[in-house]
Structure 1
Amino acid sequence: MSEPVFPLLILMPGMDGSGLLYQPLGEKLQQLELPFVIEPLNPHQDKWAYIEYLEQKYPAQPLVLVAESYAGHIATLMAIRGNLDIQKIVLMATFLETPTKLTQLEKLLPTSLIQKPPLPNLLLGKALFGKNSSQELLDLFFQAMDDVSSEQLSERIRDMRHLTAPTEQLSIPALYIQASDDWLVPARNYQPFKKVFTHLGFSQLNGSHLIAQTQPRQCAFLIESFVKKA
């Protein structure tokens, strides 16, 4: 019997928009021989231009959208639009509504403090990656922040402040991966997805908000299992 053919995984990055932070997960997916491509957000004017670009690039190809953080609501919007053959969606540490009041800080503090937080590397690593912090992950974070402009970050944070969950329902199978110690996207952000996706699985992994970076092996196994599931 021949091996099942996997749809193409589209990895959609979070607020940094660079796709660079997907490097650890990409390595694990490659080891599992899962076909994937990272589609950065930064080259596009805004999320709507990004959506239209993806719709034009993959008009008839079976897809699984893998979306972390800021990209979760974008993947959901794409599914609602119905212009692509989206077979499944993986949602990692993400949200459909304003995730936290921390988004209000953008009005008070310069965005440069997000790109280059004034913290020693040890403290910054713990804040971003928890106990799984490493210099390699910190270097990836700095590279990602260098790739995005302060204007792009500000626009995305403003967008987050005004997000409301869609009223449509989707029958596309979805999997929500929650980080156990996520102070950027608290656990309550899972609830709106339950109202939108009628077939929604759930898994929690130990770690910080950047769960695809700190637990790439476990995320890859969950994705593989979910995609293979009939």
Structure 2
Amino acid sequence: MRITPPITLVLLPGMDGTGDLFAPLVNALPSTVKTVIVRYPTEKIMSYGELTTYALAYIPKDSPYILLGESFSGPIAISLAAQADYQLKGLILACTFASNPRPLLSKLSFLVPAMPINKWLFPSACKVLMGKFYDNNVRSLLAATLSKVPPKTMRARLDSVINVDYSEKLKNIQAPILYLQARHDYLVPASAAKLIQQCAKNVELFTLEAPHLLLQVAAKEAALHIQNFIEQL
């Protein structure tokens, strides 16, 4: 009897790129779900195309897998899924986008190089990322994570978001897609998910009562949706 290898869940991180913020989700997932966390270089400035090539090395070569792209990594997950072979069984997108989710930012892109990114802005960042769902444990994890990433790297990634448009790549994705949307996301509007639904095939969307840091603040609920998605494949 042929034994089917277990599916690997490949996790592509948000703008910090460290992968550390996946800890709550990984802890909430059952032990039967094998996870691989992609961790981008913190010091090196890399474009979306370069990060996609970098992430490719984390993907299993001869066994089934699922991609999960969180926030900043949505375009990377989309690009990888668009060129994947039959081993890709599904794509999960969490609080993310295929193109610039805030088009008005394009007009302000010239300000990005001078944008202040420092510890004094951290309280404001927490309010935007968590809102009324403020969690001390998530705050501590976020602070420790962001301290590892230089401001120049964050600025470069923000600039990449402003200029990205991978909506056409969605049409080439054959695997089913699960989109996890946060009802109280102050960064990525509902229109981002709507565009993905319009451009891609077979998109299942769930809206959770959560902020942008959905996979951290609502890790257990997100893990349940992910587990159900895997079981249906």
- Unaligned runs of 5+ residues in structure 2 are none
Please name the residue that 1:24 is paired with: 24
Please name the residue that 1:224 is paired with: 227
- Find out whether 1:97 has 2:99 as its counterpart: yes
- Find out whether 1:193 has 2:191 as its counterpart: no
| Structure 1 residues 165 and 192, CA gap change in structure 2 (3 angstroms) | farther
Contact 1:106 1:157 in 2 (8 A): no
Please name the residue that 1:80 is paired with: 82
Contact 1:104 1:161 in 2 (8 A): no
SS in 1 for 2:36: strand
Contact 1:55 1:83 in 2 (8 A): no
Q: How many residues align?
A: 224
- CA-to-aligned-CA distance 1:183-226 (integer Å, 9 cap, x gap): 10011101221133211100000011110011000000000000
Bigger Cα displacement from structure 2, 175-184 vs 136-145: 136-145
Q: CA deviation at 1:18?
A: 1.0
| Structure 1 residues 214 and 106, CA gap change in structure 2 (3 angstroms) | farther
- Unaligned runs of 5+ residues in structure 1 are none
Contact 2:109 2:162 in 1 (8 A): no
Contact 1:165 1:192 in 2 (8 A): no
Please give the alpha-carbon distance, in whole angstroms, between the structure 1 residues aligned to 2:70 and 2:232. Answer: 21
Please name the residue that 2:147 is paired with: 146
Could you tell me the TM-score, scaled by structure 1's length?
0.86
Write the mapping of 1:102-181 to structure 2, written as runs, cut at 5 A.
Answer: 102=105, 107-108=110-111, 110-113=114-117, 115-118=118-121, 121=123, 124-168=125-169, 169=171, 170-181=173-184
CA RMSD of aligned residues (A): 2.4
Contact 1:172 1:197 in 2 (8 A): no
| Structure 1 residues 174 and 152, CA gap change in structure 2 (3 angstroms) | same
What is the aligned-residue identity percentage?
25
The amino acid of 2:11's aligned partner reads L
- Find out whether 1:214 has 2:217 as its counterpart: yes
- CA-to-aligned-CA distance 1:54-111 (integer Å, 9 cap, x gap): 3344322311011110111110001122368321011000011111135766643644
Q: CA deviation at 1:126?
A: 3.4
Contact 1:106 1:154 in 2 (8 A): no
SS in 2 for 1:207: strand
Contact 2:99 2:167 in 1 (8 A): no
